[in-house]
Structure 1
Amino acid sequence: MKKEISKDIIEKWLKGWSLSRDLPLPFQYRSGFKVKVGDEKQKIRYVFSELNEDFLQLAESIDEPWVFLKICVPFDDFKDKIPERWQIQPQGYMMSCFHRMKIPDIELHDDYKLEFESYNSTFVVRIMTKNNELASTGRVVIVEKLAIYDRISTENNHKRKGLATFLMKQLEQIALSKGVSQNFLVATEEGKSLYESLDWELYSLYTSIVIPSET
């Protein structure tokens, strides 16, 4: 039985994503959502929770580069229904943890320290070295009782030290302090295993296509 994707959750996630990046908020576009990103390599993004005529018509009508179409279905479901000018991007994974995470009881090594910042309902945690070098960072945005995690990253020379796990623990504590224990994010292939180790589950594939600029 095909899992039904909640359009409401997708909208909340996209709002959190936009707040985290200080972008205009998403708005309804046909049966999906639209964000005016304004970046050179991502002008606009359209996000759909399901494959339908609205998505396919957009794929047919758009011919300018760096406009992204994003959808919660596998690429194989629609690759033969769109023009060849579209290119698949690295697979994304919408992930949910609608309860408290299962995080091991770990402490931050003495070589590191924490920094905090907040803006636009967004809370930023940074793990810094004692020499003020960034080691790991991430954000959590609270959107109507849903905690949206975004831009979780660890610098290459600080990986495999448990920093990302400790970072997620700090971000979750912020969400819990706001009375929020339902969590949502979009993971890369690399990050997916980290979240699974913290008891997150795959909510939906998140497939992106774009027309790259002509070479």
Structure 2
Amino acid sequence: MARRRFLSFLFLLLAAVSFAGFMSLGVWQVKRLAWKEDLIDRVEARVHADPVAVPANWPRVSEDTHEYLHVRVSGEYRADAVSLVAAATEAGQGYWVMAPLQLAGGRWLYINQGFVPQTERKAAQAGAFTPEGVVTVTGLLRMSHPGGGVLRDNVPAENRWYSRDVQAMAARQGIAPVAPFFVDAARSGETLPIGGLTVIQFRNNHLVYAITWFALALGMVLAAVLVVRHR
């Protein structure tokens, strides 16, 4: 009998600790849900707002405050420093054309000119799709994507890219200073590169996670009630 009481006490103690933990996780997911919904609302507002100048204070640019900001910028491309990033889009398999744009003050900003199919790789690498002279680009501000793609690392020494890591691209080309972000250019007619293919999608499973944690907490309560009734 004493052993049974001791085991029941241990289970009730475990149930109490688990209940507190599951409730804490559920509350945290509810807070995350509110944060994610607010982020989505802010991004929607940025995307559909009139274009503004690219932020000049680069250290203050962050994902939370500037990602997908609708911007406009002017400068001159350096066509011999184009980097191609492997891409899979609604238009098929191919490459993003990442071209450095020199701004009026001498600083650099990478522009994702858009998508080209694999058949146009050599032409894009040679700068065939990167115009000369002063241009004005409108698009969405995106943060740099360092490291590489899924299961594939960037190889700067061979100019092979699987993510849009603008700092690494600039270092390979000897370009500095460069912005820690880039601009996805908007679509401009039906010519290559194809712009305006930015995918704006946020995973928002926080409500499901919150319900799961609260359900587990309720399960611990029910289990504890059954143990007490049995005793």
TM range (shorter): under 0.3
Structure with more helix by fraction: 2
TM-score, scaled relative to structure 1: 0.25
TM-score, scaled relative to structure 2: 0.23
The structure having more radius of gyration, on CA atoms, is: 2
Structure with more strand by fraction: 1
